[in-house]
Amino acid sequence: MKSSKSVFRRNTPAADRRKHRQTLRWRIQSIAIIGVLGFFIFLTVMLSESKDRADLLQDIKDVRYPMQQSLLAASHELDFIQTSLEHAVISSDTTLLDNAMAIASRFRKHLHNALLLEQTHALELNEVLGSFDRYFGDAHGLSLAIITGDKALASTADESQLNAQAFQQVADALEDLANRENQSMIAGVSAATVRARESLRLGLTTGLLTAILLFLTAFFTTRSILRRINNMVSSLKSIAVGNGDMNVRIPLTGSDEMTELAFWFNTFIEKLQQVTSESTREIKRLAFTDTLTNLPNRRMFLRCLSAEIERQRDIPGSKLAVMFLDLDNFKPVNDQLGHDAGDELIREVADRLINTVREEDVVSRSPQRIDDPEPGQPVVARLAGDEFMLIISDLQEIKQAELVAERIRVALLKPYFINGMQFSIGVSIGICLSPENATEADELITFADMAMYEAKKNGKNTYRFFDPELRVATDLKVKMDNAIKLAIANDELRLLFQPKVRLSDSVPIGAEALLRWDHPELGVFTPQDFISQAEANGQICEMDEWVLGRVFDYLAEWEEQGLPPASIALNFSSTQASRRNLVDSVREIAGDRQHLAHLIEIEITETSAFENLEFVEHNIRSLKKMGIKIAMDDFGAGHSSLALLTRCEIDTLKIDKEVTREIESDQKSRHIVQSIIELATKLHVNTVAEGVEDEAQAHVLAAMNCDYGQGYLYSTPLSAEQFQRWMKEQTSLDRAA
């Protein structure tokens, strides 16, 4: 390296290096200078032209156009004056003479406005005003004399002729002035257009010359720099390609910045070579180790799993289990005590896992064990957060995997002492077996993950083996998630209507609109099947708006057909119910059908209102101002917060079918329903019982003074056409009764 440095210094004296650096620097700076000068020239030309155009437009706006308006208005007023005087003489109506006086005043006002706008025409305008005053005075006096009988019409022919000539003189003067003003404006616009074209040509010429200069300067400068960079790249390839030999150095040629860069690069490579030789082992450890627990990370886990799968293939009857672990109730610890305590808990879990799956009481987690795991040895890895994975090899029966999972569950369930506090957590474990369930590493991990989520669904702190049906369900969920995004565009959504009746006399009062998704391949889905996915992918509000729009369509259609008005209830998701611009969207959907809003009842769930009470409360007030009614759906199955009833101005409580199902036979259910109805009555809120399926149930609800009922007793969900016929039939029956 000393020799390289001496060569560099011998070949590139300080004066020469400064000279070359200045040459390169000024070449590069000249590109910027040319570009800036060209830009300023072009900008100056464009600004000058823009100012000229702005001045012209301002003159047209402030002077020329108002001047034209005043002259044209005065010309029209002159015609009205002459017409009024003629009609006054013909009809002997003196009021028309008064009208002529008012019009004459407006005429003078228009000319005065023109005089204020353009002083250069002051002499001409004053002459026109003088001519007009003489004409109008003579014409008005003559007309008055004829009407009052002071002069006979036959004897005024000469005077009328003189007045006509005076009128024509004023009219011609106005027309001439307007024409000259118009020609002046046209000439100004033409001159500005010519200037604009010249400015555009100058700007284009300047831009073209600037571009040519920039190109030539950049081309020769770039070629000079790239020629030497290519020399450096050819040397770097010998370092980066092949065996990565760091003994290669870049030749030092020339005496400019590039040579100096090569010198310092060689120095850097020499230093890097020293550091690399000392830190290779640490780099490898960091690449395959979780820094918090010193356990293998996901990359190392995949490598170990692939190796174990290959090894197991040579052992007849041997099984391999992949376990996916997710800690239960870890987040509260992390939130309450902070991330440092959470990290300590993760480290303690890692120690317990290792001690549980191996025979030793204390297991070293040194880098050597991570880099070179023993074949067949259990592997414990941390993926991220509170997720761990295990490999248990050489199993002869499934029972062995169950025993390991149970030991892990029991070990992790024991209390933890962190920062002087005691905590308990659980673990959900998913288990996938090879070769029974899968033989590829990625599939084993994915299937174990599915099984873990199944354990979560089954109450947590347990374990579940992978079931092929889980994959079918997951595949269906993925297909549904992709298909539901196109459900509206492909016209796959439809509405069914389940009638509601008044319990006291079984008279129909409307229906609830029920959404269905009819996919041509996947089949028909109810909201319970796809609403959660629509909420997850952000489509739920679009679906809610589609339902509202279709309900408005049907109500308008039934109104045109003369059907009796029916109240239609529809569901809004929690996301839709708390949207800030909900009311604006509803108004836009309603359009010119807002007079039908009083027939719509929007149902929200207790949970949606409870979680976003402030926004929901505001939206409910605004919707009610439009005439829309609000119902609390599934009441009795959720929080049943009284605050929702007092703050949200609910019109209707829908009693959940789970509460009304056992009302005939279960005394507790009956008391609960009775209490809900009495509460609603005192709050002046209507009640609707869902799930009414037999007459006895309906009689009990009616006896409790429940207002309305909905269920299979009255009808199954109907299409729009079927509901329309059903309403007609029920109306006919009521009339006949």
Q: List, run by run, the mean pLDDT of 10-residue segments along the chain (737 residues).
A: 42 46 61 74 72 72 78 83 82 83 86 80 82 84 81 74 83 82 78 74 78 76 71 69 65 67 77 71 75 89 91 86 92 78 90 79 37 76 91 89 92 88 89 89 90 86 85 75 87 94 92 93 86 84 94 94 90 88 93 94 77 80 93 71 71 89 87 91 92 92 94 93 88 63
The CATH number linked to 385 is 3.30.70.270
Q: Are residues 75 and 201 in the same domain?
A: yes
Residue 190 covered by a domain: yes
Using DSSP, state whether 433 is helix, strand or coil: strand
**pTM of this prediction?**
0.50
Instruction: Reduce the secondary structure of 299-322 to three states and give it as a string.
Output: HHHHHHHHHHHHHHHCCCCCEEEE
Q: Are residues 172 and 56 in the same domain?
A: yes
Using DSSP, state whether 705 is helix, strand or coil: coil
Judge whether 11 and 251 are in contact, CB under 8 Å.
no
Q: Are residues 427 and 447 in the same domain?
A: yes
Q: Are residues 269 and 304 in the same domain?
A: no
Judge whether 75 and 83 are in contact, CB under 8 Å.
no
Return the pLDDT at 595: 94
Residue 347 neighbours by CB under 8 Å, 6+ apart:
292, 293
Separation of alpha carbons 621 and 629, rounded Å: 10
Residue 654 covered by a domain: yes
Q: Are residues 361 and 347 in the same domain?
A: yes
Residue 507 covered by a domain: no
Q: Are residues 251 and 322 in the same domain?
A: no
Strands 600-605 and 629-635: parallel
Output the six-digit token pair for 166. Answer: 């005076």
Return the pLDDT at 718: 94
Return the pLDDT at 1: 42
Q: Are residues 259 and 327 in the same domain?
A: no
Burial, 141: exposed, middle or buried (Cβ in 10 Å; 0-12, 13-18, 19+)?
middle
Q: Please name the residue that has the structure tokens 């599939």.
A: 443
Strand partners, 508: 501
Give the C-alpha distances (Å, rounded to integers) separating 302 from 305, 390, 442, 706, 728: 5, 11, 8, 62, 67
For helices 398-413 and 339-357, the axis angle rounded to 10 degrees is 140
Q: Are residues 245 and 327 in the same domain?
A: no
Q: Are residues 213 and 227 in the same domain?
A: yes
Q: Are residues 280 and 296 in the same domain?
A: no
Residue 143 covered by a domain: yes
Return the pLDDT at 638: 54
The CA dihedral of 29, 35, 38, 44, to the nearest 10 degrees, is: -100
Separation of alpha carbons 583 and 587, rounded Å: 6
The CATH number linked to 641 is 3.20.20.450
| H or E element in which residue 551 lies | helix 540-560
Select from 436, 466, 496 the last residue of a domain: 466
Return the pLDDT at 342: 87
Nearest CA among 564, 355, 328 for reference residue 463? 328
Select from 239, 258, 288 the last residue of a domain: 288
What is the b/e burial string over 583-596, where b = at least 16 CB atoms within 10 angstroms of the residue's CB? Answer: beebeebbeeeeeb
Nearest CA among 301, 308, 319, 310 for reference residue 435? 319
Return the pLDDT at 258: 67
Q: Are residues 607 and 568 in the same domain?
A: yes
Separation of alpha carbons 497 and 509, rounded Å: 12
Q: Are residues 597 and 671 in the same domain?
A: yes
Select from 265, 288, 311 the last residue of a domain: 288
Judge whether 496 and 716 are in contact, CB under 8 Å.
no
Secondary structure letter of residue 602 according to DSSP? E
Return the pLDDT at 4: 41
Residue 471 covered by a domain: no
Residue 503 covered by a domain: no
- Main-chain dihedrals φ then ψ at residue 93, nearest 5 degrees: -105, 110
Separation of alpha carbons 81 and 104, rounded Å: 7
Count up the domains in the chain and report the number.
3
Residue 301 covered by a domain: yes
Using DSSP, state whether 324 is helix, strand or coil: strand
Domain range for residue 79? Answer: 1-288
Separation of alpha carbons 111 and 71, rounded Å: 7
Longest distance between any two alpha carbons in the chain, whole Å: 140
DSSP code per residue over 466-489 = --HHHHHHHHHHHHHHHHHTTTTT
